[in-house]
């Protein structure tokens, strides 16, 4: 049965309602500490995307309400690989986000830990400040979405296989 769950999760299948480890059905997403990066918006984007992905999985999630559990994200690092020249006016680099997540119940007891989650996103680097700022925002949004998808898949899959 477990191999079937892995295959279904890898294909993007999600049950209409998922539960978290310990059978929890609601979670408060704690805003990550943005001090580990030079991108303070990343913490807000990541918390918002975690709430969206959890809601898609059928879990009630937000950043303000009391809930049955608390999801904490620790941003370990956000790094940019050396840019590779695409043409004379544009280069591309890869952003890599490394983070860990943990789920605790109301009493602070650990329910789940993700281990290291690493997500990459491409970013175009142009000569103009406007082009670079727009590319930076798109890359941060993309990396937040992918990190949230991966985190929620790991979280809901871990409760489905117990």
The DSSP string of the chain is -HHHHHHHHHTT---SS---GGG--EEEEPPPPGGGSS-THHHHHHHHHHHHHHHHTT-EEESSS--SEEEEEEEEEEEEPPPEEEETTEEEEEEEEEEEEEEEETT--EEEE---EEEEEEEEEESSHHHHHHHHHHHHHHHHHHHHHHHHHHHHHHHHT-
Give just the sign of the alpha carbon dihedral 134, 95, 53, 57.
positive
CA end-to-end distance (rounded Å), the chain: 12
Rounded to an integer, what distance in angstroms lies between the CA atom of residue 150 and that of residue 158? 12
pLDDT for res 2 = 46
Give residue-wise pLDDT tens across range 65-98.
Answer: 889 999 999 999 998 887 666 666 567 788 899 9
Give just the sign of the alpha carbon dihedral 152, 157, 160, 162.
negative
pLDDT for res 36 = 76
Take residue 125 and report the two structure tokens written for it: 């680097």
Average confidence (pLDDT) per 10 residues, the chain, 162 residues: 45 57 91 84 95 94 91 92 66 88 94 95 67 80 95 84 54
pTM of the prediction? 0.80
Domain of residue 8, residue span = 2-160
CATH of residue 33: 3.30.160.150
pLDDT for res 88 = 60
pLDDT for res 107 = 92
- Dihedrals φ, ψ of 60, to 5°? -75, 125
pLDDT for res 85 = 64
Q: How many domains does the chain have?
A: 1
pLDDT for res 161 = 57
pLDDT for res 127 = 61
12 torsion bin: left (phi>0), alpha (psi -120 to 50), beta (else): left
């Amino acid at each position: 049965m477990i191999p079937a769950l892995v295959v279904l999760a890898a294909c993007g299948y999600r049950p209409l309602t998922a539960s978290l480890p310990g059978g929890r059905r609601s979670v408060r997403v704690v805003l990550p500490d943005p001090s580990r990066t030079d991108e303070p918006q990343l913490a807000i984007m990541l918390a918002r995307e975690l709430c969206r992905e959890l809601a898609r999985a059928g879990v009630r999630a937000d950043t303000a309400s009391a809930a049955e559990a608390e999801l904490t994200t620790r941003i370990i690092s956000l790094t940019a690989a050396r840019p590779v020249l695409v043409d004379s006016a544009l280069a591309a680099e890869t952003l890599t986000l490394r983070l860990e997540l943990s789920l605790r119940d109301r009493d602070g007891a650990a329910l789940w830990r993700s281990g290291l989650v690493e997500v990459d996103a491409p970013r175009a680097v142009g000569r103009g400040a406007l082009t670079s700022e727009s590319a930076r925002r798109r890359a941060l949004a993309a990396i937040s979405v992918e990190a949230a998808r991966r985190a929620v898949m790991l979280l809901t899959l871990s409760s489905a296989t117990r």
